[in-house]
Amino acid sequence: MSNVDRRGFLAGVAATVAATTAFDPLHAGETEQVAERERTDRAAGLAPLAFTPLPLGALRPRGWLLNQLRIQLNGLSGHLDEFWPDVAQSQWFGGSAEGWERAPYWLDGAIPLAWILDDATLKGRITRYVNFIVDHQRADGWYHVYPEDAVAKRYDMWAILLVNKVLVQYHEATNDARVLDAVTKSLRALSTGLDRTPLYDWGRTRWFEGLISIYYVYQRRPEPWLLDLARKLRAQGVDFETLYTTNEDMKVPTPRRGLWKWTKHVVNAGMSPKAAALSWRLDQRANDRAWPRQMIEFLDRYHGQVNGMFTGDETLSGKNPLQGTELCSVVEFMYSLETLVAVFGDAYFADRLERVAFNALPATLSPDMWAHQYDQQVNQVQCTINPNHGWSSNGGEANLFGLEPNYGCCTSNMHQGWPKFAASQWMRTADSGFAAISYAPSQLAVDGGGQTVEIVCDSAYPFRETIGITVRTERPTRFPVLLRIPAWSEGATVQIGDGATVPARAGTWHRVDREWRGSTSVTLRFPMKARVTTRYNDNVAIERGPLVFSLRIAEDWKRVNADKPHREMPHADYEVRPTSPWNYGIVMAKGQAQGLTFEEQPIGDQPFSPSGAGVVANVQARRVPSWGIVRDWAGEISSSDAAWADASKVVSREPIETVELIPYGCTNIRITEFPRV
């Protein structure tokens, strides 16, 4: 058994340990606090949310999602603070290492992970770190890492915006009043500090992240100066609508090894779709409501990838499936989408959230989550130390699987993806109901009118098209449940109990407003019809439901960088090379992929791994001998290149074979955009 197999096996065993799904519902007082915050918002002119996220811990994962989070807990996320100096020895925690973004980044994912899984060990370590931050806050409100003289020694305010966002998560989970006091004092210091040293660099491009903690404090302590601070941040920050609509350079791929630019930085692009939504809550400007969707459509048009992301290695790089996407941008875009669906209640954002979560997120993490990539490629046939790379800004190790390939920001920031997604499966509606944002298996229990309301989603979605939901109440109670019907699910149906099956319109919320009695079952069916979509260079991709499918390629993992510090097992660096053919084109006739079929399989202990795929596809294909490695990557190929005998297809005289495709998120190396043959 190889090192990778051994690590994966051990993590898989740990992931299957039985865990209770019983947990305490939100207490009546907490429910009333949510309602009071909504009333405060309306009274002050701060627009209320369309959907209110449930407090951390109200939702518990089940099924494959529980397995995935346990794998994460047993991997880098649950142990990074024990050995990686930038977190373990961070100045934030009393050490001498980096005292800026890395420890707060780790906390941003570790806090929801620990409280969703109710893991006492990780919760204990996090509490110790938070206590250190709070205990060492200075009398002037600045945290201890902030320079005494911030004019003589500048400190980019981004880290302050980030740590306050982290601390309000902790307060939501624990209700520790000292933490809320600390954030309030920090925001007062920030308000004064911005007059002395306006936002610059990272703080200027990520100003809107500060609104998250401002709104959180304001909902509990509605003082006007907080909203004044929000407006001050907006005035000093980048106007993304103006940037994207007036700067033609935003449309243009960054050239190979081109210039790094603040404006085209892909993580900023992942974060910033929520900027206008957060701004909209201040004064409800019409442009702020319209812009987030327009921005995402802009990114799709000029830089979009089939996995739901946009390229950025590490600046926006066009639509070529070789150019890659930075992991930080994946988790930040997911958080933006979670924010957008909460603010506006638009099912479009939830559809995109699922696409990214089920494809781009797991594909850039090793199945046991002890390694990650800085950049993932849609067409990625090998991951090697590559001095011949074609990245726009990154280096030759950017798509290795490892501890900190290329640069350590993703090592610290990748942890928020799965936990925040798990915490966003359901949200409260403005009329005291519940909205199903996604359908990964989960369970919630909240107090509703003096009784416990429980909703359980038992499903193998997105690997299956049928979803079972059970709503339980202690006594008859009326409230609405909004069921998101994905835009791709033409022919979707909803059935309540033994009642009639009714159609549900794709791309909308299907509202069920009824009196719920005892235990009521809801059955959803989302027909997952295969789609063949045209991509870059007229090549094609195969999709089904929210999943994208890629060629299954046999792989060989080889450890590298063993001589570097902190590379002892199990946190090591690996090259991955193919051991089976990859240069296939899909046999197409009249726009249809020939021989395309799908087969459901048991979901493995590692749900997003080549061996754990819950569904596989078969399709007819031919080898394309002329398609080979260029600069140590899969070469660029076009189905409409005039050099081929048939301008609409690549000509191949190789025999037709049936090849196997698996979900994109289950692959480590892959071909996803295929030439037509």
> 568-606 pLDDT, tens per residue?
556 889 999 999 999 999 999 998 999 999 999 999 999
For residue 3, the number of C-alpha atoms closer than 13 Å in the C-beta half-sphere is 16
Range scoring the smallest mean pLDDT among 257-266, 304-313, 381-390: 257-266
**545 in a domain, yes or no?**
yes
Dump pLDDT digits (tens) for 399-436.
999 999 999 999 999 999 999 999 999 999 999 999 99
pLDDT at 11 over 80: no
Say yes or no to pLDDT of 122 above 80: yes
* 227, 201 contact by CB (below 8 A): no
In a domain, 653, yes or no: yes
Question: CA nearest 353: which of 296, 428, 301, 299?
Answer: 296
- Domain membership of residue 360 (yes or no) is no
Domain assignment of residue 103, yes or no: no
Neighbours of 435 (CB within 10 A): 25
Q: Which element (helix H / strand E) includes 618? A: strand 615-623
Residue entry with tokens 């990539």: 373
> At residue 626, does pLDDT exceed 60?
yes
Model pLDDT for residues 471-527, shown as the tens digit of each residue: 999 999 999 999 999 999 999 999 999 999 999 999 999 999 999 999 999 999 999
CB 20 within 8 A of CB 118: no
- Angstrom CA distances, 565 to 97, 386, 409, 572, 573, stand at 15, 21, 17, 10, 11
Strands (E), 333-410: 375-376
pLDDT, residue 152, reads 76
Q: Measure the CA dihedral 302/308/311/315, to 10°.
A: 100
Q: Domain count of the chain?
A: 1
**Separation of alpha carbons 528 and 9, rounded Å:** 31
Q: What residues contact residue 230 under an 8 Å CB cut-off, 6+ apart?
A: 210, 211, 214, 215, 282
| End-to-end CA, the chain | 38
Q: What is the CA radius of gyration of the chain?
A: 24
> What is the pLDDT at residue 136?
98
Report the pLDDT value the prediction gives residue 38, as an integer from 0 to 100.
54
Q: Is the pLDDT of residue 645 over 50?
A: no
Q: How many CB atoms lie within 10 A of CB 502?
A: 12
pLDDT digits (tens, 9 = 90+) for 437-465: 999 999 999 887 788 999 999 999 999 99
Note down the domain range covering 549: 530-666
Res 27: pLDDT = 42
The HSE-up count of residue 345 (CA atoms within 13 Å, CB side) is 17
**pLDDT for res 640:** 62
Q: What pLDDT score was predicted for residue 33?
A: 52
Helix spans in 255-346 (H)? 266-271, 275-283, 286-303, 327-344
Taking 60 as the threshold, does the pLDDT of residue 528 lie above it?
yes
Q: Per-residue b/e over 308-320, b at no fewer than 16 CB within 10 Å?
A: bbbbbbbbbbbbb
Distances 267 to 71, 106, 260, 447, 450 between C-alpha atoms, Å: 25, 16, 12, 38, 43
- Mean pLDDT of the residues in the chain: 91
Distance CA 658, CA 312 (A): 33
For residues 562 and 84, which has the higher predicted lDDT (pLDDT)? 84
pLDDT band at 186 (very low <50, low <70, confident <90, very high): very high
Of the candidate ranges 80-94, 441-455, 613-627, the one whose mean pLDDT is the lowest: 441-455
Residue 245 in any domain: the answer is no
pLDDT tens-digit series, residues 243-282: 999 999 999 999 888 788 999 999 999 999 999 999 999 9
Please give the pLDDT value at position 18. 31
pLDDT tens digits, one per residue of 335-357: 999 999 999 999 999 999 999 99
Read off the pLDDT band of 150 (50, 70, 90): confident
Residue 635 belongs to a domain: yes
Asked whether residue 253 is domain-assigned, the answer is no
- DSSP H/E element including 503: strand 501-503
Residue 627 forms part of a structural domain: yes
**Overall average pLDDT of the 95-110 stretch:** 97
Q: How many angstroms separate the Cα of 475 from the Cα of each of 362, 448, 450? A: 41, 11, 10
Best CA proximity match to 571, nearest among 92, 82, 13, 68: 82
